[in-house]
Amino acid sequence: MREPTDNALKAAEAIFAAREGVMRTGEALDAGIHRRTLYWMRDHETIEALSRGVFVLASAPLPESPDVAAVMRRIPKAVLCLVSALEYHEIGTQIPNAVQVALPRNIRPPKIAHPRVQVFNMSDAAFRAGVEEHSMAGAQMRVYGAAKTVADCFKYRNRIGLDIAVEALQEVVRNRTATPAEIMDFARIDKVESVIAPYLTALL
């Protein structure tokens, strides 16, 4: 492969840097980086793969949560959920063993070999409720707020563990991150109000 010019490489690195060092292949090409330049940078480790088709500038600091950044770039319609959302909001002590995301029931996610991803398919009402938008690694990403995440943890308690749901509820109520009324609003959407209510009553 013919080596790109110094100017082309400097321009490409500047484009990556302006986006906090992380870009998908399509984003890089749309931003004006020639495909040959991009692949030369990959082959010479100027950029490194976070996941298939998602690259980070080697000279830039890694995103705070590189696996999350990669997955949210790969599945832009997804919403970060459950233990991954708890970690994002710094709630509880659990560390997710996969990036957990929600999608509507009619959307099938792409197959991602790395990093590990767990997809939770939700009804339209549950999927749309409680979504917050934040910036991560130069792109918008979506994550459920604290109250919705607590409700979701009870909804999927058989998959993630009831202890995680209870710990999250206790911490969110104790720290006043969300009100009991807000949590119960989302519990009704998730159809778990009768499950959460006794735990919530015990805390009040």
* Residue range 81-129, pLDDT digits in tens: 999 999 999 999 888 889 999 999 988 878 888 889 999 999 999 999 9
Task: Say yes or no: 106 and 38 in one domain.
Answer: no
Indicate if 23 and 113 belong to the same structural domain: no
pLDDT at 151: 98
In a domain? residue 174: yes
Residues 22 and 78 in one domain: no
In a domain, 102, yes or no: yes
- Same domain? 198 vs 154: yes
Domain containing 125: what range?
Answer: 66-203
In a shared domain, residues 195 and 144: yes
Residue 105 lies in a domain: yes
What six digits make up the tokens of 94?
């659990």
DSSP 126: H
Same domain assignment for residues 88 and 177 = yes
Cβ-Cβ contacts under 8 Å for 129 (sequence gap 6 or more): 148, 186, 189
Determine the pLDDT at residue 26: 86
Number of domains forming the structure of the chain:
2
Distance CA 144, CA 134 (A): 10
Residues 159 and 142 in one domain: yes
Q: Output the pTM of the full model.
A: 0.77
Using the 3D structure, point to which of 18, 37, 57 is the last residue of a domain: 57
CB 193 within 8 A of CB 184: yes
Q: Is residue 1 part of a domain?
A: no
The answer to the question of residue 111 being in a domain is yes
Residues 98 and 30 in one domain: no
| Listed residue (107, 109, 140, 134) closest to 27, CA to CA | 140
Q: Is 125 part of a structural domain of the chain? A: yes
CA distance readout (Å), 75 to 78, 107, 108: 6, 11, 10
93 and 190 fall within a common domain:
yes
CB-CB contact of 6 with 123 (8 Å): no
- Per cent of the chain over pLDDT 70 is 98
Instruction: Please check whether residue 157 lies inside any domain of the structure.
Output: yes
- 159 and 136, same structural domain? yes
pLDDT in tens, 18-76: 887 888 888 888 988 888 888 888 888 888 888 788 888 888 776 677 889 889 888 98
Q: Are residues 70 and 52 in the same domain?
A: no
pLDDT digit string, tens, across residues 133-164: 998 767 788 999 999 999 999 999 999 999 99
Do 22 and 101 lie in one domain? The reply is no
